[in-house]
Amino acid sequence: MSDLTRLTISQARAKLRGKEITATEITEAYLSAIDRANPALNAYVAVTGDRARDMAKASDARLVKGEGGALEGIPLGIKDLFGTEGVHTQACSHVLDGFKPRYESTVTANLWADGAVMLGKLNMDEFAMGSSNETSYYGPVINPWRRSRLDTVVMPTTHQGDGGFVSSGGTKTQRSLDNAQLVPGGSSGGSATAVSAFLCAGATATDTGGSIRQPAAFTGTVGIKPTYGRCSRWGIVAFASSLDQAGPIARDVRDAAILLKSMASVDPKDTTSVDRPVPDYEAVIGKPIKGMKVGIPKEYRVDGMPEEIEALWQKGIAWLRDAGAEIVDISLPHTKYALPAYYIVAPAEASSNLARYDGVRYGLRVPGKDIIEMYEKTRAAGFGREVKRRIMIGTYVLSAGYYDAYYLQAQKVRNLIKRDFENVFADGVDVILTPATPSAAFGIADEDMAADPVKMYLNDIFTVTVNMAGLPGIAVPAGLDPKGLPLGLQLIGRPFEEETLFQTAAVIEQAAGTFQPEKWW
């Protein structure tokens, strides 16, 4: 039998419904793939093999009776930020040591109700704070993609044509993989790596400033952050409550549409969950975009942006124009202030949300001579450097005397950022096309980024505006850079118009194709 882990969700769904394969078979295929790959890639922090087998068995029973749900028997990976009842849920932090919630997050409950199978919990930056998945207590995730270079090798005449192409002079050019390990992006680095390396059919992720879209772009996968309020935040470990949204990472646009349909819901347990029916996102894939107005924001052409990113953007513009879209230049004048405003709003909310980790109710406790010392020692030992840094910034900007200068100013700027988008949408723009990231994946333990936290933050320069304005955004792979690494484009839509994003992303995918890493692990 061919490798079941290579099937997309839509392909697996058809084969499961057609009884060509069973949920148990595909689940076993993924569990053994995880077994082989995880020591090298570190995508999973907990594998729930027994539960996966039980869930697959139950799926098979339903499939036999023709009662399968929308995701019946589809094996998924779950970011460690989602509360999963009785299962490891630690936001990849030491401070949540041993935490196994007694509840299930709404998003994962929706997936299980539709018949999905849980393979395990995925690695991530600690508390979703990071853009490289290097802040995890469980160590970095490794990107399945590696740089490659083209070598010209002299060919002995007897060994022709093994993968390269033969030139007339008896030499051939061959792509060879570099050994340097790259980051998968973050914070949903485990989700992106697991999807890209065929260690799950699809994964849940969350996005506060780019944490779905940046890792999707770094791994050649599709990631969508829906409109704020589309997916319930209930049961997801909170980072910055006014920015956090759950969404899927998938191998293609259709799979992302299938997953979001199941993840999204109207939830009375989340007061910011918006009361709107969830549309059938998959239905728009393949619909023409003729006449659609696509905005190209000039402020996204930033200083020092690599040539290949600009070239990719131009390619995207050409694809959409060829498909009949009308391309218009637009201006979003407050773009450059989104990232600094984010680094006030997000840490402020985080410092408040993370106050609950006190060594009393759950997780780690380090004893002290009194309760204050216990709190201080627990939090000093439990949080990693990046998390402490953000709690400190948040505490400082909210402290007496600084609140107006920092937090209030940032929230006012945030309204201006939102207004920029409202203005272009009011002018008839349906969707905005931008690069997803300012570069391709970078190396593990990058020295520049380690020395200056702001350098790492700049990874989110194109994605963070979307969170600040609460809009939906999708990252779709659009090509490879000269070193063979995937690059993504981002589409930004009007609130609750995820359908427009799927419809347009499918056009890009149709033109660009899909991208899989060469297996080395």
Partner 1 sequence: MSVDVKTVKRVARLARIAVSEEDAERMTGELNAILGFVEQLNEVDVSGIEPMTSVTPMEMKKRRDVVTDGNKAADIVANAPATEENFFLVPKVVE
User: Measured from the CB atom, is 222 or 417 closer to partner 1?
Assistant: 417
For residue 354, what are its two tokens?
């993370």
Q: How far is the CB of 347 from partner 1 (least distance, A)?
A: 8
CB-based contact 27:75 (threshold 8 Å) = yes
Q: Considering all CA atoms of the chain, what is the largest pairwise distance in Å, rounded to the nearest integer?
A: 80
Q: Which is nearer to partner 1, 388 or 483 (CB)?
A: 388
Amino acid at 329: D
Give the residue with the Cβ less far from partner 1, 375 or 442. Answer: 375
Among residues 132, 187, 188, 191, the one annotated as catalytic is 187
Active site residue 79: yes
- Range 342-345, long-range pairs (CB < 8 A, 24+ positions): 342/209, 342/243, 342/460, 342/464, 342/467, 342/468, 343/393, 343/457, 344/393, 344/397, 344/406, 344/407, 344/409, 344/410, 345/240, 345/242, 345/243, 345/407, 345/410, 345/411, 345/414, 345/468
137-147 in b/e form (b: 16+ CB < 10 A) is bbebbbbbbbb
To the nearest 10 degrees (0 to 180), the angle between helices 253-263 and 106-113 is 110
Give whichever of 40 and 360 is closer to partner 1, judged by the CB atom: 360
Q: How remote is the C-alpha of 222 from its chain's centroid?
A: 8
- Report how far residue 215's alpha carbon sits from residue 195's, in angstroms, rounded to the nearest whole number: 11
Select 172 or 379, whichever has its Cβ closest to partner 1. 379
- The least CB distance from residue 301 to partner 1, in Å, is 19
- Residue 246 CB, nearest distance to partner 1 (Å)? 15
Residue 32: both structure tokens together: 């053994």
Q: For partner 1, which is the closer residue by CB, 406 or 425? A: 406
For residue 23, the minimal CB distance to partner 1 (Å) is: 30
Q: Classify 175 in phi/psi space as left (phi over 0), alpha (psi -120 to 50) or beta.
A: beta
CB of residue 387 to partner 1, shortest distance in Å: 10
Tell me how far apart the alpha carbons of residues 345 and 322 are, in angstroms, rounded to a whole number: 40
- Determine which one of 10, 59, 79, 196 is catalytic: 79
CB-nearer residue toward partner 1: 218 or 407:
407
CB 487 within 8 A of CB 479: yes
Nearest distance, CB of residue 343 and partner 1, angstroms = 6
The residue among 69 and 453 lying less far from partner 1, judged by its C-beta, is 453
458 Cβ contact partners less than 8 Å away, ≥ 6 residues apart: 339, 438
Residue 289 beta carbon to partner 1: minimum distance, rounded to whole angstroms: 26
Nearest to 483 by CA among 161, 247, 187, 145: 145
Q: Measured in Å, how far apart are the chain's first and last C-alpha atoms?
A: 22
Cβ distance to partner 1 smaller for residue 86 or 428:
86
Q: What percent helix, strand, coil does the chain show, rounded to 5?
A: 40, 15, 45
* Strand-strand pairing, 75-79 and 293-297: unpaired
Q: Which residues contact 414 (CB under 8 A, 6 or more apart)?
A: 341, 345, 468, 469
Triad 56, 28, 60: Cα angle to 5°? 25
Give the active site residue among 93, 211, 232, 351.
211
How far apart (Å, rounded) are the C-alpha atoms in residues 71 and 52? 14
> Is 315 a residue of the active site?
no
In the complex, minimum distance from the CB of residue 243 to partner 1, in angstroms, rounded to a whole number? 8
For tokens 């996966």, name the residue: 52
* Residue 439: CB minimum distance to partner 1, A: 19
Active site residue 187: yes
Catalytic residues: 79, 187, 211
